[in-house]
Amino acid sequence: MAKKIVLAYSGGLDTCVAIRWLKEERGYDVIALHIDMGTEKEFDVIHERAIAAGAAKAVFRDGKADFIRYFAFPALAAGAVYQGHYPLATALGRPLISKLMVDVAREEDAAAVAHGSTGKGNDQVRFDVSVQALAPDLEIVAPVREWDMKTREDEMAYAARHNIPVPTTKESPYSTDENLWGRSIECGVLEDPWQEPPEDIYELTRSVKDAPEEPSYVEIGFAHGIPVSLDGEELDGVTLVKRLNFLAGEHGVGRVDLVEDRLVGIKSREIYEAPAATVLLAAHEALEHLTLSKPQIRMKARVAQEYADLIYNGLWFTAYHQDLVAFVQSTQRHVTGAVRMRLHKGRAVPVGRRSPKSLYDVSLATYDKGDVYDQSAAVGFIKIWGLPVRVQARAQLLAEPGEPLRIASPEQ
């Protein structure tokens, strides 16, 4: 009996060809696993295509709720954004796909798992490292990394030779990946970082020039750092993110054009669309500024960078991740309240925030009547705060009495 392999199968050209290749070249019985993380493709069509390509079986899993609950929202609470711009949609999807591949491999008593990543990207690392952590006994095969087909044309020729029906959707020069947290687009003309991305690459966001002239406002409710409502209506995470993707996408919110550093050492130009993630990250940060202290905010920003790198670099299933989560969760105890966001012409801006745990005290901040802040006490505070500055300035900065104090001189 042939050994079984579970292939993470998107329904696209690469993974269709991979089904046949795994069967012909490696002798596996292929179980094609399709996971919906927000693209909601018609499984009937994809299922048939997998069987026609030579799969022994096609399996479907709806990963949307788990993706939001265990991956996207924890990353939101952490404020995880890679290199300041990328909300990590693709990177967050990989560990869940790995987990589901392993689950199905166990159910089916398979010996191996397979994924459609190339040998040049981050995704191969995320899949391989995650599977190695979850199921070290499973073999991992990455057909695209191993076969000698170089181009889309090579794959089309292979498909024709083997009579494999391939996706009939119009040919795209781009490589894309999509889930509820966002969409990633690369290749084609985008490989020239000087070229402005053509408008037709976008699917989730309207161009700013076609976005409504009037802004929309949306109020996002958070409980302990997790979004729970839109405009006062309590929603499950999947519905909330879907609605927000649509609403913010209409206003052209969430486009990112980034030259980023891949883990494998290559700089690459990638375009992202992440309407809901962009709005939620900005809203969440605004609520943190209301409810966290200054050192909490500062430390959290450092942890956010660590967290983003960890996700990007495929280290989701690690003890270090658990350590970072412990800190993040502790910070979110009082991040409860609502933020009103204005969506307009490509921008998502927090314009109002409130919280039962707010640290903002108007009677301290006000310049109007009702002020309880003791301004005379500031004098003593400044005397002590400035003490070491005065001592050092006298001893070291004002070398010649009467000389103007210069911190840096242009001649130096």
Residue 14 found at the interface with ligand ARG (CB under 6 A): no
d(C-alpha 179, C-alpha 89), whole Å:
7
Q: Which of 66, 155, 270, 288 binds ligand ARG (CB under 6 A)?
A: 270
Residue 175 found at the interface with ligand ARG (CB under 6 A): yes
d(C-alpha 202, C-alpha 271), whole Å:
9
CB burial readout 75-98, b (16+ within 10 A) else e: bbbbbbbbeeebbbbbbbbbbbbb
Cα-flanking dihedrals φ and ψ of residue 57, to 5°?
-160, 150
Q: Which is nearer to ligand ARG, 166 or 235 (CB)?
A: 166
Residue 177 found at the interface with ligand ARG (CB under 6 A): yes
Q: Which of 184, 245, 278, 336 binds ligand ARG (CB under 6 A)?
A: 184
Under 8 Å between Cβ of 371 and 323: no
Residue 272 CB, shortest distance to ligand ARG, in Å, is: 8
The H or E element containing residue 154 is helix 152-161
- The vertex-221 CA angle with 216 and 223, nearest 5°, equals 160
- Which is the catalytic residue, given 29, 66, 123, 128? 123
d(C-alpha 265, C-alpha 51), whole Å:
37
Q: Which of 59, 75, 81, 91 binds ligand ARG (CB under 6 A)?
A: 91
d(C-alpha 305, C-alpha 300), whole Å:
9
Pairing mode of beta strands 182-186, 112-114: unpaired
- Which is the catalytic residue, given 26, 36, 61, 175? 175
Region near ligand ARG per CB under 6 A, out of 49-57, 159-167, 181-189, 374-382: 181-189
257 is catalytic: no
Residue 288 found at the interface with ligand ARG (CB under 6 A): no
Cα-flanking dihedrals φ and ψ of residue 4, to 5°?
-95, 150
The residues facing 388 across adjacent strands are none
207 is catalytic: no
Pairing mode of beta strands 255-261, 112-114: unpaired
Residue 257 found at the interface with ligand ARG (CB under 6 A): no
The H or E element containing residue 228 is strand 226-230
Query: In the chain, how long is the greatest CA-to-CA distance?
Result: 93
Q: Which of 32, 185, 279, 315 binds ligand ARG (CB under 6 A)?
A: 185
Q: Which is nearer to ligand ARG, 90 or 336 (CB)?
A: 90
Number of residues that bind ligand ARG (CB under 6 A): 11
Sheet-wide strand order for 255-261: 175-179, 182-186, 267-273, 255-261
353-362 own/partner pairs: CB under 8 Å, 24+ apart:
353/286, 353/287, 353/289, 353/290, 354/290, 355/287, 355/290, 355/291, 357/291, 358/290, 358/291, 359/290, 359/291, 359/292, 359/293, 360/290
Residue 275 CB, shortest distance to ligand ARG, in Å, is: 17
148 is catalytic: no
Residue 370 CB, shortest distance to ligand ARG, in Å, is: 50
Q: Which of 36, 103, 108, 186 binds ligand ARG (CB under 6 A)?
A: 186
123 is catalytic: yes
Residue 377 CB, shortest distance to ligand ARG, in Å, is: 51
Region near ligand ARG per CB under 6 A, out of 133-141, 149-157, 160-168, 176-184: 176-184
Q: Which is nearer to ligand ARG, 184 or 278 (CB)?
A: 184
Binding mask 108-137 for ligand ARG (x = CB under 6 A): --------------xx--------------
Residue 121 CB, shortest distance to ligand ARG, in Å, is: 6
Residues that are catalytic: 14, 94, 123, 175
Q: Which residues contribute to the site for ligand ARG (CB under 6 A)? A: 90-91, 122-123, 175-177, 184-186, 270
